[in-house]
């Protein structure tokens, strides 16, 4: 697999994550950890079936370091993210959590052969400006100031911790690049079991009430919290990590576009400007990445 193809594969995960907000909105009153358990369980089961269908069942065997890293990234970040949304104002918490693409760009310098080019920094700045533009527009539309209480501060801390955790997981995936992507299926299933345990202790079970809610939950499990993790694993292990970090800023923008198309949000000049910033940032980062020395590509385990 070439680095360019792996990078495109990683972009597929970003595209799937753009549906996360829309599908989550369709799941109604399902509690957060119940939803995580359902969707990661479905995603893990799907990943197992894909491996079996390709005759790669032997590659499902978990590798302890990669499994521990995956649990920290998949379960840890999800738990921190939902805690942030419960404790702090959602718009600001979500913005802080979306610092992870910028952190990926910066952390990529720690990889073997990795070099942080000016183009990567400029592209990351464009992406961050796009997210700020969208959230600033939403906050301006609300018109009300949000008090900064102890709960909000704790929520912001969770959002920042989640951003660092997910960026660290993504970049460190390169260190276990010899571990087959099929093993992510086990990580998803173990994370689902952990989320189920939290749900049984802290939440009341609420099952989907109608076909739309079921479809949204299934869509989450198949796409943003299923196939997306497999595609992202390939991109992080064999693609251009810095470019994918910048391109990840497309997720909140594309997510907003899908909400507009579905009638959950209104179109605005701020949205159009954010899209322009994303395109410009991705182009600048792509050109900068081509001038950089190639990151060492580990051998693929078959």
Q: One digit per residue, pLDDT tens: the chain, 302 residues?
A: 788 888 899 999 988 988 877 887 788 788 888 988 998 999 999 999 999 998 888 888 888 988 999 999 888 887 887 777 777 766 667 767 877 887 877 777 776 666 767 877 887 788 778 777 766 665 565 444 444 566 678 888 888 898 889 889 888 888 888 888 888 899 999 999 999 999 999 999 999 989 999 999 999 899 988 899 899 889 888 888 778 877 887 777 777 778 778 776 667 777 778 777 877 776 777 666 554 444 444 444 33
CA distances from 83 to 17, 87, 159, 278 (A): 19, 6, 8, 28
**Rounded Cα distance, 272 and 282, in Å:** 16
The total of other beta-carbon atoms located within 10 Å of residue 172's CB is 18
* C-alpha of 5 from chain center: 19
119 within domain boundaries: yes
Q: 116 with 138: CB under 8 angstroms?
A: no
Q: 232 with 13: CB under 8 angstroms?
A: yes
pTM: 0.75
Q: 95 with 132: CB under 8 angstroms?
A: yes
Split into its structural domains, the chain has a count of: 1
301 within domain boundaries: no
Range of the domain at 63: 3-291
255 within domain boundaries: yes
48 within domain boundaries: yes
- For residue 296, the model assigns a pLDDT of 44
- For residue 201, the model assigns a pLDDT of 94
299 within domain boundaries: no
- For residue 292, the model assigns a pLDDT of 45
72 within domain boundaries: yes
- For residue 288, the model assigns a pLDDT of 63
- For residue 193, the model assigns a pLDDT of 95
Provide the CB-side half-sphere exposure for 88 (13 A, CA). Answer: 23
Angle between helices 250-261 and 118-142 (to 10 degrees): 40
300 within domain boundaries: no
**Rounded Cα distance, 164 and 230, in Å:** 20
Provide the token pair at 190. Answer: 């173990």
57 within domain boundaries: yes
**Rounded Cα distance, 70 and 78, in Å:** 12
What lies within 8 Å, CB to CB, of 288 at 6+ separation is 117, 118, 119, 120, 122, 123, 242
Q: 173 with 69: CB under 8 angstroms?
A: yes
- For residue 40, the model assigns a pLDDT of 92
């Amino acid at each position: 697999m070439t680095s360019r193809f792996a990078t495109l594969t990683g972009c597929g995960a970003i595209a799937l994550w753009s549906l996360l907000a829309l599908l989550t909105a369709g799941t109604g009153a399902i509690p957060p950890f119940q939803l995580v358990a359902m969707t990661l369980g479905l995603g893990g089961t799907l990943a197992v079936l894909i491996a079996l269908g390709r005759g790669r069942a032997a590659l499902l065997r978990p590798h302890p370091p990669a499994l521990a890293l995956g649990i920290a990234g998949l379960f840890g970040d999800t738990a921190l993210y939902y805690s942030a949304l419960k404790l702090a104002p959602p718009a600001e918490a979500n913005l802080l959590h979306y610092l992870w693409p910028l952190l990926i760009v910066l952390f990529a310098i720690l990889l073997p052969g990795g070099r942080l080019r000016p183009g990567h920094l400029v592209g990351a700045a464009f992406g961050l400006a796009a997210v700020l533009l969208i959230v600033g527009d939403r906050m301006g539309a609300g018109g009300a100031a949000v008090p900064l209480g102890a709960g909000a501060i704790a929520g912001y801390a969770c959002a920042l911790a989640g951003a660092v955790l997910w960026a660290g997981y993504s970049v460190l995936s390169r260190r276990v690049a010899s571990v087959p992507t099929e093993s992510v299926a086990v990580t998803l299933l173990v994370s689902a079991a952990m989320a189920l345990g939290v749900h049984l202790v802290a939440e009341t079970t609420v099952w989907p009430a109608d076909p739309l809610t079921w479809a949204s939950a299934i869509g989450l499990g198949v796409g943003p919290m299923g196939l997306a993790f497999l595609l992202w694993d390939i991109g992080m292990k064999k693609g251009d990590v810095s470019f994918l970090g910048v391109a990840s800023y497309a997720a909140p923008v594309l997510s907003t576009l899908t909400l507009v198309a579905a009638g959950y949000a209104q179109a605005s000049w701020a949205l159009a400007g954010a899209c322009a910033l994303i395109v410009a940032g991705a182009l600048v980062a792509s050109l900068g990445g081509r001038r950089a020395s190639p990151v060492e590509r580990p051998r693929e385990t078959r």
